[in-house]
Chains A and B, each alone.
Chain A
Amino acid sequence: MANELMDVKALRINLKTGDIKQENIDMELVKKYLGGRGLASKILKDEIDPKIDPLSEANKLIFANGLLTGTAVPTAGRYMVVTKGPLTGTIASSNSGGFFGAELRKAGWSLVIIEGKADKPVYISIKDSDVKINDASHLWGKTTDITTDTLIEEFGEKNAKVACIGPAGEKLVKFAAIINDKARAAGRTGVGAVMGSKNLKAIVVKGSERIDVMDKAAFMDAVKSKVDLIRKDPITGDGLPKLGTKVLDSIINQSGLYPTKNFQFGTFEYVEEVNGEALVNKGYLIDNKACYACPIGCGRDVVLPNGRKGEGPEYESAWAFGADCGVKDLIAISDANFMCNELGLDTISAGTTLACAMELYEKGYLPKEDLKDGPELTFGSSESLLYYLKKIAYREDLGDKLAEGSYRFAEGYGHPELSMSVKKQELPAYDPRGVQGHSLEYATSNRGGCHVRGYMISPEVLGVPEKLDPQSLEGKAGWVKVFQDLTAVIDSAGLCLFSSFALGADDYAELINVGTNFGLTTDEVLKIGERIWNLERQFNYEAGITPDEDRLPDRFKEPLPDGSQKGSFSHYEDLLVEYYKARGWTEDGIIPKEKLQELGIA
């Protein structure tokens, strides 16, 4: 079958009735939302009541390729999983790389919309237009690595790609991930639990059609020029390939923003034991790895002295199990990361939830008897990491409560203020007290605590595209808006956010235009991002999540006790009104009707 970039098709699969339908997506809608995060959010908002229980049958789970996913555009291997999230109750969209998304697009599908709930465990197989729902009883309970190997063998296509859940998704852990290609995760917001609630264990896919564009020569010229920019840039051409995301440990620690022991401190005394340099110097790093069509290759191929091997750990994951839990054992940290991939857990939420439990335990709020036979939950205990991760994934003993995420866990012990989360999702690896724009970004993220909705660390710490003073408030609200809108574009185009260290809004506009007949200006492309941002925000509002939840834990009103940002605290509240204004919302943070109309949402 012909597979044109401008031919956007969806598979609609109802697991209750077994109906499988093919739909063509109107190109006017694609022009307004591009694909991936944008298009799937639009469909979700149109099709479900935002008030539903995320783990009920009424929720839908959408696997969505970006507009350019599967093409030769650098980093065009990304897909999103969009649904209503069980951890936050907000719209959830979780991004992943690897090869699964591109394979799905090569099979002809930009979207797979999953509805209903199967009576028993099933998996979906897709070979171009041959789509089936199959029994998965033999896979239920299996880890993601075994599930992936088994399915590839059964399917009889050794190059098939698999996205699946592990035991954590089956057990409806609120921060369960969907893992594709064994080590790439649609990690955040609990999308794996929604998949589990539908009794859907996996999707296996093999595609055979290249994607055609109208003007191939112009397209390849644009691709080549962007690959050159990425290769020449010191971050994407040198730092990320050689050190991966763990290039950040030393930078963030020296900048005093490296959250330690559940965000009580901003520097970690054992950072030299666990940083990216240590991963290389200790000889654990074997090679770098790249996702589909990626010239950067930030992935890590690691073999530990205990013989365990796998991909990672990434900066965020290693931090969550390292500094945040006070653990300095790089082997245990890496093992915890591998374990999360196998069990299907989000590393950031898992680590930060354990860190919260450690603080509750050390402060005496979590009684020892609740640990049953488990090791003491003290900061620095690498033994407890591995023990409790398993307990979480299978919801055993204390793991059942931890599986609800840090907010509900800490609330259950009477101290929700010790959960380092926004909208109930755990915060990642940057203390917001020392970076005011990033602080605002955390508070206003549409999917709860998250760093990849508008990565203000880039200008405020890393000097890309220019260096902003992290403590200054001036102009930050506007910066956050533009970063959030541009990120929504990148996610919806199907590209990796890391490409933005080398590429700017004009480059993305050029790539979108050269593959389509959209003829969009850069401003119009950013408007698409703004539309997506507002649509997500409106979904959340209709789900009952009000602007009151644009807030950070009270800890961040207290000054940082150590490091180079000692004494600073978060001023996000001072920025909120300016931010709402920059977005054209009311001063209370509500989107007025006129704004929704202007963006073509209402």
Chain B
Amino acid sequence: MVRLNFFTLFRLELGIKSIDVEIEKEIKLSDLLYLAEKKANKKFIHKLIDSDGNLLNNAIILVNGKNVHHLQKLETIIKDGDELALFPPGGGG
């Protein structure tokens, strides 16, 4: 099982705090996101990935606390037991 935790505007606008997705084997992050979107029955991927399928510079996806921009981006391999944190672009100061 992989847990995806939603924060900031995702949490407020989708009304989801977290969802769990069962995976049978290791899977790519992009595939996991589509599975999660299906399970949640709510659209959120468009806030993380552009229309060409690239991860946005300012999308924040952490896998066990590590930003996937510094792993393999959308190709990052997700394993059973991993925990993800998802944020649409955000900033302040």
Contact = CB atoms under 8 A, between A and B. Distances in A.
Contact of A280 (B12, B64, B87): B12
A498 B93 CA distance: 8
A314 B58 CA distance: 21
B59 interface: yes
A463 interface: yes
B90 A564 contact: no
A469 B73 CA distance: 13
Contacts of A245: 92-93
B38 interface: no
B70 interface: yes
A501 B90 CA distance: 9
B93 A455 contact: yes
B58 A247 contact: no
Given A242-B9, A277-B8, A248 B92 contact: yes
A484 to B, nearest CB: 15
Interface string A556-586: 0000000111000000000000000000000
Contact of A239 (B56, B69, B85, B88): B88
Contact of B59 (A243, A451, A461, A463): A463
Most buried by A among B56, B59, B92, B93: B92
A77 interface: no
A256 interface: yes
A463 B55 CA distance: 11
Interface string A33-73: 00000000000000000000000000000000000000000
Given A464-B57, A564-B65, A564-B66, A254 B7 contact: yes
A467 B57 contact: yes
Contacts of A316: 93
A467 B67 contact: yes
A472 to B, nearest CB: 8
Interface residues of A, number: 44
B9 A247 contact: yes
B59 A239 contact: no
Given A247-B90, A452-B93, A464 B58 contact: yes
A382 to B, nearest CB: 24
Secondary structure of the A contact surface, majority rule: helix
Given A250-B8, A466-B57, A255 B62 contact: yes
Interface in A241-298: 242-248, 250-251, 254-256, 276-277, 280-281, 298
A465 B89 CA distance: 12
B49 interface: no
A128 interface: no
B7 A248 contact: no
B58 A234 contact: yes
B43 interface: no
Interface string B31-63: 000000000000000010000000011111010
Contact of A451 (B87, B88, B89, B93): B93
A467 B92 CA distance: 16
A328 to B, nearest CB: 18
A532 interface: no
Contacts of A234: 47, 58, 88-89
B12 A458 contact: no
Chain A CB within 10 Å, residue with most, of B7, B8, B93? B93
Nearest to A245: B92
A235 B67 contact: no
Contacts of B90: 235, 239, 243, 247-248, 251, 462
A238 interface: yes
A564 B88 contact: no
A239 B11 CA distance: 12
A462 B60 contact: yes
A235 B65 contact: no
A242 B88 CA distance: 12
Nearest to A281: B12
A371 to B, nearest CB: 34
Nearest to B5: A254
A526 to B, nearest CB: 21
A460 to B, nearest CB: 10
A254 B66 CA distance: 9
Nearest to A280: B12
25 contacts: A234-B88, A235-B58, A235-B90, A239-B8, A239-B9, A239-B88, A240-B92, A243-B9, A245-B93, A247-B90, A250-B87, A251-B87, A256-B65, A276-B8, A315-B92, A316-B93, A462-B58, A462-B60, A463-B69, A464-B58, A465-B57, A467-B70, A469-B69, A469-B70, A564-B65
Given A251-B8, A276-B8, 19 more contacts: A234-B89, A235-B58, A239-B88, A243-B90, A248-B91, A250-B7, A254-B7, A277-B12, A314-B92, A315-B92, A455-B93, A461-B60, A462-B90, A463-B59, A463-B60, A464-B57, A467-B67, A498-B93, A564-B64
**6 closest Cβ contacts across the A-B interface?**
A564-B65, A245-B92, A463-B58, A250-B7, A234-B89, A467-B69
